[in-house]
Amino acid sequence: MRFEQKYYYVYILASSRNGTLYIGFTSNLPQRIFEHKNHLLPGFTDRYNVDKLVYFERHDNANDAIRREKRLKDWKRNWKKDLIEKYNPLWRDLYEDLNNLL
């Protein structure tokens, strides 16, 4: 029997460069971003058209990822923008390249 490692992701979506931000957590990043992009999840991201994946990080442990998500949500907006720009200075939508990045 082969054991496959399960990963957990914390991600940041943006409506546009320097636009509205949303921070979330998931164990299936491609599926979750697809749901945001196709407005299948009613609520904040749907209402404000926040559907561009601009940052994500992978965790081995769900509790660590949840803690990180909560910590990022408490950050000041400028800190979040600095984090995005450190890894994605052009605020590119990473969704199209997601399979290559995971």
Q: Which of 2, 68, 58, 64 is nearest to 27 (CA)?
A: 58
Mean pLDDT, consecutive 10-residue stretches, the chain (102 aa), reads 84 96 97 96 93 97 97 98 97 92 84
- How many whole angstroms from its chain centre is CA 14? 9
* Conformational region of residue 59, where left means phi above 0, alpha means psi within -120 to 50, and beta covers everything else: beta
pTM over 0.85: yes
Q: Which of 15, 66, 56 is nearest to 39 (CA)?
A: 15
User: Quick one: fold of 8-101?
Assistant: GIY-YIG endonuclease (3.40.1440)
